[in-house]
Amino acid sequence: MRHTLSVIVNDTPGVLARVAGLISRRGFNIDSLTVGPSEEPGVSRMTITTIGDEATVEQVMKQLHKLIDVIKVQDLSEDPMVERELILIKIAANPASRSEINGIVEPFRATIVDVGRSSMMIQATGSREKNDAIIELLRPYGIKEIARTGVTALVRAQVAARVK
């Protein structure tokens, strides 16, 4: 099962390496990892996605709690959440195919952020599944490069209100 962990940490040097090292020592593969400042100064939020059984993820969460710079660990997979990922896709595009590509991009609410003589760059945000779908639709044009941020997520408001 795929798990999305939210890890609130102190923003100190080396904390990312300690968290990633702990997870790798437990034999878990990090599928994606995003880190950024949280709403509180000096505190960052890590969103880690991984695949594993419930017992092993629970063990990893317990180990994460033992790290000094870890403030809170939550498995978001158990609650309704909003998750998003940003992707940039550079594809081959000649002037004749640009309107056709625009027709693919529009329903995904993606945007064309750069146009070159023989290529276009498209920015898309959404769930991993949505981003996988646009990649597959653009693949026949010739994908030159892809950059993905990894998943970032928060629990939906109804559940957060219930927790309080």
Instruction: Note the pLDDT tens digit of each residue in 51-88.
Output: 888 888 888 899 999 999 999 999 998 889 999 999 99
Q: Which of 87, 79, 77 is nearest to 52 (CA)?
A: 77
97-132 per-position pLDDT tens digit: 999 999 999 999 999 999 999 999 999 999 999 999
Please check whether residues 87 and 69 belong to one and the same domain: no
Specify which residues 92 forms β-bridges with: 119
Report yes or no on 42 lying in a domain: yes
Domain of residue 8, residue span: 2-78
What distances in angstroms separate CA 72 from CA 66, 67, 68, 109, one per listed residue?
10, 10, 11, 34
Please check whether residues 51 and 107 belong to one and the same domain: no
Report yes or no on 97 lying in a domain: yes
130-157 per-position pLDDT tens digit: 999 999 999 999 999 999 999 999 999 8
Specify the pLDDT at position 129: 92
Domain count across the chain: 2
Strands, E assignment, the chain: 2-10, 30-37, 43-51, 70-75, 81-92, 111-115, 119-126, 143-148, 152-155
pLDDT exceeds 60 at position 163: no
Of 33, 49, 78, the position where a domain reaches its end is 78
Please check whether residues 7 and 52 belong to one and the same domain: yes
The overall average pLDDT reported for the chain is 92
Of 78, 97, 132, the position where a domain reaches its end is 78
Please check whether residues 57 and 119 belong to one and the same domain: no
Of 78, 93, 126, the position where a domain reaches its end is 78
Specify which residues 88 forms β-bridges with: 123, 147
Please check whether residues 55 and 23 belong to one and the same domain: yes
C-alpha–C-alpha distance, residues 52 and 58, integer Å = 10
Radius of gyration of the chain (CA): 19
pLDDT exceeds 60 at position 159: no
Q: Which of 152, 154, 81, 92 is nearest to 119 (CA)?
A: 92
C-alpha–C-alpha distance, residues 102 and 98, integer Å = 6
C-alpha–C-alpha distance, residues 68 and 100, integer Å = 53
Please check whether residues 117 and 95 belong to one and the same domain: yes
Please check whether residues 73 and 6 belong to one and the same domain: yes
